[in-house]
Chain A
Amino acid sequence: MNTNNNLYTVIYTAIIVAVVAAILAFVSQSLKSKQQANEKADTISQMMTASGFGTKADFQKMGNAAVLQKYADEIEKAYTVNVQGDKVADLPLDKVYSPSELKKQNYNIKGSAEPELPVFVFKNGITVVPVYGAGLWGPIWCYIAFEIGQDGTAVIKGAYFDHESETAGLGSRIKDDPAFQAKFQGEIPNFGSENVFAIVKGGSPKNVEGMEIIDNQIDAITGATMTSQGLDAAIDTWLGAYSNHFLKFSAEEE
């Protein structure tokens, strides 16, 4: 058979591509539920890591079922708020947001529709909110946990970051470097102002003598300027959208 004939070549490639596409679609569909279950447990462990219930490694060892159980034990309520800070609706207690759902809300914050932003509250009073934005190569997102003080001030209890495809060893340090995530602990975002939170080069290091401590600023990652800037913008955008919600806590106390 002449395999170099034009018609043969066209038909051959068309068949190969169609067969491969069918195999991939079938596998993707049949594995989807398992992948979503893994993703959900992973998201929950990120929220719980940010809230200080354990480390990410602890949750990995526990397995999916135990993570879901622990979350069900600890979560008190989950609801959505609008940018005015008013509650819109209650969320089911087992509801978590996938990155694509956060992406949709990210568009909404930027003005395409009225955002409905999720807030998760644990029984010990810790409030967790997500942040979503663009890194250097792809989306980055995180969960920031707040402790609401006596006077209503929201202090960051912890944060956990994740990304799709930041550079290993550089941008991916937002996820892999516990020291970077620890920098967020104890920071107090300046809700209601234009610059809610800043991640800048040489920004307010803790424990360095002679340096002024700025409550809503941390040091960026060396070698990951674009990822740091993306994270800075994402946090400003999202915490900015949550500002009115958090300001209500301090207004209630006054």
Chain B
Amino acid sequence: MDAKLKETILNPIFKGNPITVLVLGICSSLAVTVTLKGALVMALSVIAVCGISSLILSLLRNTIPGRVRIIVQLVVVAMMVILVDQILKSFEATYAIDKQLSVYIGLIITNCIVMGRIEAFALGNKPWPSFLDGVANGAGYGMILIIVAFFRELLGSGTLFGVDILGRLGYVTNNLVILPPFALILLGCIVWVQRSIQKDLQEK
């Protein structure tokens, strides 16, 4: 794999992470991180929407009229979001999760990462790198979601993926962790850790 493609994949996951560095898409990362299962489904949904929308729009990039390009992007992203929602509703295993995530699946369309990557990358690059860029950005977002959800479910409910972990040790669940503000506190801690490792991200 050439260096440029590698950079396309790795950059969004660490150095240019959409949540911790670009601070995009944090509203849904606060809302859907109460349980790991919800965060995982949300992460996979965003990866699918981001990757496939980038691929489609990259294939169409030379035909899209410049004046309506945002509208065309919106139509394609909306289609992908509806498809993901419809598919989640169709399977027994994911129906309950889809209900739990309720409006947030539909709100992927407003997630700045999706449109941001299409506008910044997919419209100017070939389909394969665009697809990888979309997937990598979705994964960068999903990774933070899962880290936040891990701590929130463990400390808030004493469980992981619904399996009792801390409860049997006599842990008393903490309601503050379940509430949205704690996601913000955790997110702050993750940003702190990341910036103390990658010193070049620190603003002087």
Contact = CB atoms under 8 A, between A and B. Distances in A.
B185 interface: no
Contact of A12 (B65, B83, B104): B65
B86 A31 contact: yes
Nearest to A1: B63
Size class of the contact patch on chain B: 20 to 34
Contacts, number: 69
A84 B96 CA distance: 38
A23 to B, nearest CB: 6
A169 B89 contact: no
Nearest to A165: B103
Which secondary structure dominates chain B's binding surface? helix
Nearest to A60: B96
Interface in B12-27: none
Given A4-B65, A8-B65, A168 B92 contact: no
A62 to B, nearest CB: 10
Contacts of A4: 65-67
Interface in A4-43: 4-5, 8-9, 12-13, 16-17, 20, 23-24, 27-28, 31, 34-35, 38, 41-42
29 contacts: A3-B62, A8-B65, A12-B64, A12-B72, A13-B68, A13-B71, A16-B72, A16-B75, A17-B75, A20-B75, A20-B76, A24-B79, A27-B83, A27-B86, A28-B86, A31-B86, A31-B87, A31-B89, A31-B90, A38-B89, A38-B91, A41-B92, A42-B95, A63-B92, A64-B92, A165-B103, A168-B102, A168-B104, A172-B102
